[in-house]
Structure formats: structure tokens, C-alpha cells
Chain A
Amino acid sequence: MIKTLTRRRALGAALAAITLGTAAACGGAEAEDGPATLNVWLMKDSAPDAVLQQVNTEFQNAHPGVTVSVQILEWDGRDVKWKTALASDTPPDVLEMGNTDVLAYAASGGLTDLTGREFENQATWLQGLTEAGSYEDKLYGVPYYGGDRVVIYRKDLWQKAGLSAEPTTLAELKAAGEKLQQSGGADFSGLYFPGRYQYAALPFLYDTGGVIATRNGEKWAGALSSPQAQAGLTNWADLVKAVSKAPADTDETNLPDVLAQGRTGMIIGQAWMVGSIGKEHPELADQLAAFPVPGTAGPMPVFLGGSNLASAAASRHQDLAYDWIKLMTGTKYQTVLAQGGLLPNSTSLSGAVTGITKIQMDAAAKSWFTPTSTKWSDVDNAQVLMDMLQSIAAGDATVAEATKKADEQINQMLNAA
């Protein structure tokens, strides 16, 4: 112990650079014989405990003497924990990161370059997750599982309003929402859509052929005020105005409660909500159903969320970390996760999914991701898009004004020195 400590101190910061540069060989080999603990940090609501136990048992059988220690992190405040941990002498060996998180940490040198390593189903990984885990054409985060949003509705309220067929176009969705809304009281929304719910609103812009920003060489340009993007956001604003009584200044935190309390007939939500609402309100378990968010023509391009698995650059168990990630992201356990309702990391596993997960998997075929600039987190942190959406939904600005302002902010932030 003392020996490794002094050696680490001597190597100091150089270690990070070495392991980063020469990937596997260097960081791993020395420390990996004999008893070791592999520290794995996962996020809340990812793999169920039972699956984790199976994975760890199989892993420990294959690596005698190695113990896997799993810690579950809350999503709130995760970045503070990662930052302090990655800067410490003993970072976790494996980290689950939200797919929008990976880029900044990869660019900062905190994560191991996994480009040369082999993984199962690599060729058929979900495009959005692979993109999210890559930085400058190198792989830092292995796709772990995906998630996208679907329309979740209450069958009982749906029936009461005299609706039956699930809408397949945006116009039909709006009509259904209006009909629902008329069937309820003054507080009742057809489709409850909070103004700052960006990952449900931005698909409208991709639906009409818009994008958030475009890249030209090293320079980024906000594209929210393009005619295509404005058309999509106008569709969104029209829908929200017609079928939602949600406040313009709130985000999606309340959605499951609002649906469960019968204050809306539909929400756009993550598919796992169907299960969690059903568990909390057993009387609703049979009343919930879902369909893909309809677009102007065919399903709307969804924002592909999800998680990637990465390894800390300063981890002393690079090979073990790789083996664990490989096991977790391989066909065997991805199939188990898929049966549990998570979107598996590869399109080749679409046969394993049923029900709502199948709806999600189909929707994921047409997906988009936030601009892959390392400075995108600045835009995100400054809440540029959420403020833009709120100002449109609240009527504080027209679509043209709001998008022009957001574009200016994006241009300034993404191209800052």
C-alpha cells in the first residue's frame, strides 16, 4: 500500500497523461495481479440490483480475487462528485455517465481512450449513443443503454373523451388533445406540456428539417432562426397553446404526478414512467399506454438520451474496468436489461424488446443529438434553449425574436476563445 502510494505521488499528474496516451498496456498490468477492488459508479435507475448481482458474480468468478464494489449516484449533483473523484488519487474505475455528460470529461483528459478495445455489437450500436461517447473520433464512453420519449396517455380519460385510435400525425395529436381537453374541467390539459421541457420541444424543430446549430470547420453557428427550425417551433407553440395548461416557466419534474392525478390526458415522457406510475398508483397500472410522438409526416425524430460507461484515466485497473464494461454492454446482459424495459445499446438486439420498449426502439431509429461541441455545456448551463422555449410559450417573445436571441447566444458561447 505504502509502496503504491509513494509511487503514485512520484508519478503525480503524469500518470493521467501516460494512461491516456498508451491506453491499455501501461496503467493496467502492474496492479492487477492479486486481490483488488474494482470501483464502479452507476447512476440511479440504471441496471436493477438483481442484474447487477448477476454481472458481478460472473465477473468475480472470471477474475478470482477481484471484488466489485458498486456505488449508486443520484443524478442531481453528479458532476460535483465526478469532478472531485476524477481529480483524486483513487478515482472510480468505471463510471456511468449520462450521454450528454461524456464529451466534457473526455475532452478534459479525465477518461480513458477505449478506441482500440473490442466490444460486442460495436457495429450496430445506437448511433446517438456512439456519437455521445466519442470525442475527436476516439471512443471514451461505451453505449450502455438508451432512452427516448413517447406519448403516455390514460386510457380511461381517453375513453371518456370518446377517443380510440392513436394519432400518427401531429395534426391528429393536436385534435386528440383538444378533444381530451374539452372533456375535462378548467384545470385539465389535453397534453400537459411545460414550457421549459426542452427535450420534448426540440424534436419539433428536427421534425421540420431544422437543427440546433451547424458546424463549419472550427466554427459553429446557431441555426434556430432558420425557416425550417422556426416552422417546427411554431408547430410546437401552436400545440402547447391549444392543448396544455402547464405553466411556461416549469420543466418536466411534475409530469408523472400530473398524469396520475388526472390533470392531463397525455404527457410526453420517458417510457419507464409507465412502470413507475403504475407501481405508485396500482389502480392506474392497466390504464396507461404509449405511442411514438407523431410528427408532421411519420414519427418525430426523438432526442436519444441514455448512458455510457467510461473508465477513469487515472484508474489503476484499466484492464479490469474494460472487462467489466465489456461484460455489461455485451449481448447477454443487454438482453436482460432490454427485457427489463431499458433500451439496449444495439439495434441488433431489437428482437429482445417488447411493448413500450419496442415503441422506443422503433422511435430511436430516427434520432438526433445535441451539438458535439465541448462548449455545448456552456449553452446548456446558461439554459439558453430553455429560456428561449419559455419566452415563446409565455408569449414574452415571438418565435422569430426568441430564436434570433438564442442563436446570438449560441454563436457567442460556442465560438468563445
Chain B
Amino acid sequence: MTTTLAPPEPPTATTVALAKKRQITPYILLIPATVVVFATLLYPVGRMVALSFQRGNLGDLIARRTVWVGLDNYRSVLTDPVFWTVLPRTVGFAAVCVALTLIVATGCALLLQHASRWARVTLSVGMVIAWATPVLIGAVIFKWLFDAEFGVVNWLLTASGLCDCGHRSWLGDQWSAFAVLVSIVVWGAVPFAALSIYAGLLTVPPELAEAARVDGASASRIFWRITFPLLRPIYAILIVLSVIWDTKVFPQVWLTTKGGPYQGTVMLGVYIYQKGIVGSQFGVASTIAVLMTVMLLGLSWIYIRAMREEAR
């Protein structure tokens, strides 16, 4: 700006040095972040991609052999019937979890907005505690809640006379096992989503809703016509994040069902673990991981583009 006002000075030695320094400084400042991102993300991802083109069995790992197999791993994964069962199952599971998370979270956020002060504080504290509970601990707690022999759920159902559920095995049936898994995931995901939506609700000018109400709009109409459009960016972020989190679900499944009954709750995360860590087929496991990463990146990209276009 100032250069247009003042007559251009002839470049002196100091200004050239300054300009050079300016050119370098941003890059120097970027180094720490770049190093961290490279070390924690790009390098492992690079190794994973490389490993997906290698045989990588236990013998190779121990002897540190690198045996390139070209596209063999991709061929075997893409022709593996189990992969084609696990993939749609994972997608369906994630879809149900994401939808339920957002519905429940929206409900909680609206409740927070309308509740009295003490109720709001109680609800927020409860959600923050649930959110702060490590996934592992949450999963173990749910496993015990639903335990067939010693579980509180069975005890409650039996004690209240709702059913004779002394030995009811929730994780022994594929659908009830899925119900338990969905509830673990949704339970862990709702607090973050609810608090984000609530934060968004606070930015919606109350006059808009008030004006609509004066004009006779119903509550649901106000939500869909005023609140939701204004919060669209928040929902976009929440959907993308939830899709990513729920697709790569692992500890919740591994700690409760281990993929059972009859391998019926094996999803991509568990499948990768079974192939790689348990079965020592590190090449094949990396291949599945690469495919999953590509799929997630693709989904996120398509979704973000769609959101952008809609905003225009």
C-alpha cells in the first residue's frame, strides 16, 4: 500500500537483504510444523503405501527383507469375498452411527438452549465427562453392562419384570451386537457434536426466530428454515469428521465382540488388525488400509465440494 504513495526508492543493500529475509522467514517458521506433520503423518502413510506393494509376512519382518509383489496384494484383497462383506457392513454401520449421532446431538443442543441454567450446567458437565472418558474405558464399561452373566442390563431387565433375561447374551446375536456397538459409538460421539451444535446455536440471532414466530411459523419450521441453514457449515464439518471416525472404528469392536458372533461384526478396522497384527500379513493389511484411506479421502472431498457448491 505505502509503496504506491511514496515514490519508489532505489533498492539499497539493506532493503534487498530485508526482502530476502522476508522470503525466508515464513519457510523457517513452517519448519517445525512440517517436521511434525512429516514425522507423524506423511512418513507412516508413505510406509503404509510402500508396504502395500510388498509381501510383508512375519519372516520378511524379522529378516528385514523387502519383497516387492507389485499389485498382488491389491488383487488378493479385491477378490477376497470377506473384504466385500466387510466393506458394505462398515459403510452401513458408519451411516447409522453418523445419522444417530447427529439426530441425538441436535436434540441435546436444542435442549441445552432451552433448558434452565442448572439443567444446562448438569447436562453439559455430563456430556463433557462422557466425552472425556477414554474410548477404551467406555468400551469396557459397555461390555460389562451387557455381560450375559454379570451384566447390569440383564439384571435390570429381569428385576423390573420386563423379561426373563438372566442369561441373555447381547453380543451373541449379530443384530443385538450391532445395537450395542452403535450405542457405544454414538454415546462417545454425541457430546462433541452436541456442544459444537450448541455453540453454533448461540450465534443464531434470536430476532430471526422471533420474527418467524410472530409470523406464525412452527418450531420445526423455524429449525429447518432458519436454524439449520445457518448451521450448515457446522453440520458439514461434523458429518465429515463423524464419517471418518465411525468408519475406522476399532477399539469399541475389538474390546466387546472381537468381530463376533461368527465374524458378523468385523469391520474394516478389525479386519486390518486381524490380517496384519494377528495374522502377520502386513502387506495385505496395508493394502486394505490404503483402500480405506483413499475411500475416506474421496468421500470427504466429494462432500466438501458439494457443500461449497450449495453455499454458492
Jot down 23 A-B pairs with beta carbons below 8 A, ordered by A.
A12-B64, A13-B63, A80-B277, A87-B61, A87-B64, A107-B59, A108-B58, A108-B59, A246-B167, A247-B148, A247-B167, A248-B172, A249-B171, A249-B172, A249-B260, A250-B148, A250-B149, A263-B149, A378-B279, A381-B274, A382-B263, A387-B261, A387-B263
> Within 8 Å CB of A12, what residues of B?
64
Are A104 and B260 in contact (CB-based, < 8 A)?
no
Q: Is the CB of A105 within 8 A of B58?
A: yes
Restricting to A386-401, which residues have a CB under 8 Å from any CB of B? 387, 390-391, 394
B262 at the interface (CB under 8 A from A): yes
A258 interface residue, CB < 8 Å from B? yes
CA distance A83 to B172 in the complex (A): 32
Residues B167 and A245 in contact, CB atoms below 8 Å apart:
yes
B30 neighbours in A (Cβ, 8 Å) = none
In whole angstroms, how far apart are the Cα atoms of A391 and B261 in the complex? 9
A83 touches B280 (CB 8 A): yes
Q: Which chain B residues border A381 with CB–CB below 8 Å?
A: 274, 278-279
Residue pair B262, A387 in contact (C-beta under 8 Å):
yes
Known A250-B148, A254-B149; contact A108-B62, beta-carbon cutoff 8 A: yes
Assuming A249-B169, A249-B171, A257-B150, what are 19 further A-B pairs, CB within 8 angstroms? A17-B63, A80-B277, A86-B62, A104-B280, A107-B59, A108-B61, A110-B59, A187-B167, A247-B148, A247-B149, A248-B172, A249-B148, A250-B149, A250-B169, A254-B149, A263-B149, A314-B62, A383-B259, A391-B262
Produce 1/0 per residue, A248-278, CB < 8 A to B: 1110001001100001000000000000000
Residues of A within 8 A of B278 (CB): 79, 381
User: CB < 8 Å: which of A16, A79, A245, A258 contacts B63?
Assistant: A16
- Interchain CB contact under 8 A, B62 and A87: yes
Which residues of B from 224 to 262 have beta carbons under 8 Å from A? 258-262
Q: Give the 9 A-B residue pairs with the shortest CB-CB distance, closest first.
A: A249-B172, A108-B59, A108-B58, A247-B169, A110-B62, A247-B148, A13-B64, A381-B278, A87-B61
Instruction: Using known A-B contacts A378-B279, A381-B279, A387-B263, determine if residue A108 contacts B57 with beta carbons closer than 8 Å.
Output: yes
CB closest chain-B residue, reference A111: B62
Count contacts on A: residues with CB < 8 A to the other chain: 38
Q: Chain A residues with Cβ under 8 A from B258's Cβ?
A: 383
Q: Which of A75-97 contact B (CB under 8 A)?
A: 79-80, 83, 86-87
| Bound-state Cα–Cα, A97 to B303, Å | 49
B200 at interface by CB-CB < 8 Å: no
> Which residues on A sit within 8 Å (CB–CB) of B149?
246-247, 250, 254, 258, 263
Residues of B within 8 A of A80 (CB): 277
Q: Count the B residues whose beta carbon is within 8 Å of the partner chain — how many? A: 27
Which residue numbers of B lie inside 8 Å of A, CB to CB? 57-59, 61-65, 148-150, 166-167, 169, 171-172, 258-263, 274, 277-280
State A258–B150 Cα separation when bound (angstroms). Answer: 9
**Nearest Cβ distance between residue A253 and chain B, in whole angstroms?**
10
A109, CB-defined interface residue at 8 Å: yes
- Least CB distance, A417 to chain B, in whole angstroms: 10
- Complex Cα–Cα for A100 and B200 (A): 56
Contacts of B61 in A (CB 8 A): 83, 86-87, 108
How far is B63's CA from A105's CA once the two chains are assembled, in angstroms? 12
Smallest CB–CB gap between B237 and chain A, Å?
Answer: 34
Whether, in the assembled complex, A411 has its beta carbon less than 8 Å from a beta carbon of chain B, the answer is: no
Which A residues lie within 8 Å of B171 (CB)? 249
Q: By the criterion CB–CB under 8 Å, are A383 and B263 in contact? A: yes
The smallest C-beta distance from A86 to any residue of chain B, in angstroms, reads 5
A residues in contact with B64, CB < 8 Å: 12-13, 87
Task: For the complex formed, measure the closest distance between the CB of A322 and the CB atoms of chain B, giving whole angstroms.
Answer: 20
CB distance A83 to B58 under 8 Å? yes
Report whether A383 and B260 are in contact in the complex, using a CB–CB cutoff of 8 Å. yes
How near does chain B come to A41, taking the closest CB pair, in angstroms?
Answer: 15
A187→B57 CA distance, assembly (Å): 47
Name, among B57, B62, B260, B263, the residue most crowded by chain A CB atoms within 10 Å (CB to CB).
B62
Q: Which residues of B contact A17 (CB under 8 A)?
A: 63
Question: Is the C-beta of A377 less than 8 angstroms from some C-beta in chain B?
Answer: yes
A390 CA to B264 CA, complexed, in Å: 13
Say if the beta carbon of A186 comes within 8 Å of chain B. Answer: yes
Task: Look across to chain A and name the residue whose beta carbon is closest to the beta carbon of B282.
Answer: A83
Question: Closest CB of chain A to B200's CB: distance in Å?
Answer: 41
- For window 364-417 of A, CB contacts with B under 8 Å fall at 377-378, 381-383, 387, 390-391, 394
Bound together, the chains give a CA A247 to CA B165 distance in angstroms of 12
User: Which of A86, A249, A254: most chain B CB closer than 10 A?
Assistant: A249
B250 to chain A, nearest CB (A): 14
Q: A313 to B171: give the CA distance in the assembly, Å.
A: 42
In the complex, residue of chain B having the shortest beta-carbon distance to the beta carbon of A196: B260
CB nearest neighbor in B for A77: B277
Q: In the bound complex, how far is the Cα of B262 from the Cα of A17, in angstroms?
A: 40
Residues of B within 8 A of A263 (CB): 149
A219 to chain B, nearest CB (A): 21
CB closest residue in chain A, given B164? A186
B202: shortest Cβ distance to chain A, in Å? 45
**A382–B260 CA distance with the chains assembled, in angstroms:** 10
With A and B bound together, what is the CA distance between A13 and B262 in angstroms?
40
Smallest Cβ distance from B111 to chain A, in angstroms? 37
User: How far does the alpha carbon of A13 sit from the alpha carbon of B279 in the complex, in Å?
Assistant: 23
The residue of chain A having its C-beta at the shortest distance from the C-beta of B61 within the complex is: A87
Closest Cβ of chain A to B87, distance in Å, is 18
Chain B neighbourhood of A16, CB < 8 A: 62-63
A151 to B76, CA, bound (A): 45
Chain B hits for A249, CB < 8 A: 148, 169, 171-172, 260-261
A-side contacts of B62, CB under 8 Å: 16, 83, 86-87, 108-110, 313-314
CB distance from A136 to the nearest CB of B (A): 14
